[in-house]
Amino acid sequence: MSKDLVPATFSGTDYIAIISLGENTDKVLDDFNLDDKIIPQLHKLVMSIRNTKWEIVLTSSEWGLSLQEASVLVGALNEDLALGNRCNNMVCFGKGFFFM
């Protein structure tokens, strides 16, 4: 399994912001000793591919995760992203927010 993913570059630099997807996802990354460099790729994954396909993508040769790792990671992502829709101090309406 490939744990050293090549970081994405932004505007020709090697610096990227690593923004957590949630505590469940962070725990899975730690449990499987996956580098934080995977987080930007996970952001791209969840924004570009339906969640029903995440496990297939994560077990592909590009990602190199085992079926167990992919399954646990997908569960954590689903839980974190579902919790992310329950916004603190705001009501969420699809892609928009109403601040209270």
Q: What is the pLDDT of residues 25-54, one digit of tens each?
A: 999 999 999 988 889 899 889 888 888 899
Which domain covers residue 64, as residue numbers? 1-100
Number of other CB atoms surrounding residue 72 within 10 Å: 17
First and final CA of the chain: distance in angstroms? 46
Q: How many domains does the chain have?
A: 1
Amino acid 94: pLDDT: 44
Amino acid 88: pLDDT: 45
- Quote the pTM value: 0.66
Helix or strand run (H / E) with residue 88: none
